[in-house]
Chains A and B, each alone.
Chain A
Amino acid sequence: AQSVTQLDSHVSVSEGTPVLLRCNYSSSYSPSLFWYVQHPNKGLQLLLKYTSAATLVKGINGFEAEFKKSETSFHLTKPSAHMSDAAEYFCVVPMDSSYKLIFGSGTRLLVRP
């Protein structure tokens, strides 16, 4: 069965320091992996998507994620956090070929001034 685990429910960083949000997945069907971001009182926005074309995926707002099959991980990183990055982030995997998605429980990123 497909599953996704976000290892931290909350991450707190200082502005200007690196961000690491961790995601592990279990999937026998993984043609793609996603990170979505949800800013306060907003809907979910696609941050980036892995589609097997390249293991390092670049997304919007300076974020990137690396697909590591041997570790079944898809961690999200950013070299330097900005106050506007404060949001909740979801790691997402397809359930199967039915176009249904499985969401992680989310990681709330706090950015301190």
Chain B
Amino acid sequence: DADVTQTPRNRITKTGKRIMLECSQTKGHDRMYWYRQDPGLGLRLIYYSFDVKDINKGEISDGYSVSRQAQAKFSLSLESAIPNQTALYFCATGEGTDTQYFGPGTRLTVL
């Protein structure tokens, strides 16, 4: 969905490096989410935010941090990347109902 963009789309990094994944949306939605996808596990929630001042941990937040810089921007950081954080990361937005709208994903490889 072009309304939700993620940068970079692909990233290869080394163990111990700090990485930031960025998400921007033009949908005007208050809610934003970060997920990771691993083969055979579906998507798991890392962090979510209901507005700029409301940030909450999801089921797998250890090793990650987030920043909601504005209503339209929600960044995910890996302070010290490790190989088991290699995954596909998705940002999503939501408003009103429980439907969520997803970005195209960022493929992260940690060597």
Q: How far, in whole Å, are A26 and B105 apart by their CA atoms in the complex? A: 28
For B45, list chain A residues within 8 Å (CB). 100-101
For A31, list chain B residues within 8 Å (CB). 98
B16-28 interface code vs A (CB 8 A; 1 in, 0 out): 0000000000000
Q: How far, in whole Å, are A104 and B94 apart by their CA atoms in the complex? A: 19
For B48, list chain A residues within 8 Å (CB). 99-100
Q: How far, in whole Å, are A67 and B84 apart by their CA atoms in the complex? A: 37
**With A43-B104, A100-B48 in contact, is A105–B98 under 8 Å at CB?**
no
Name the contact of B97 in the complex, choosing from A32, A44, A100 (C-beta under 8 A).
Answer: A32
B102 & A44 in contact (Cβ 8 Å cutoff): yes
For A49, list chain B residues within 8 Å (CB). 99
Interface residues on chain B, number (Cβ under 8 Å): 24
For B62, list chain A residues within 8 Å (CB). none
For B63, list chain A residues within 8 Å (CB). none
A105 & B94 in contact (Cβ 8 Å cutoff): no
Q: Does A55 contact B (CB under 8 A)?
A: no
Q: How far, in whole Å, are A43 and B4 apart by their CA atoms in the complex? A: 10
Interface residues on chain A, number (Cβ under 8 Å): 20
Q: Which residue on B lies nearest to A96, using beta carbons?
A: B98
Q: How far, in whole Å, are A103 and B105 apart by their CA atoms in the complex? A: 16
B residues apposed to A, CB below 8 Å = 1, 4, 31, 40-45, 48, 50, 58, 90, 92, 94, 97-105
18 A-B contact pairs sorted by A residue (CB < 8 Å): A34-B99, A42-B104, A43-B1, A43-B4, A43-B103, A43-B104, A43-B105, A44-B43, A44-B92, A46-B99, A90-B43, A99-B50, A99-B98, A100-B48, A101-B98, A101-B100, A105-B41, A105-B42
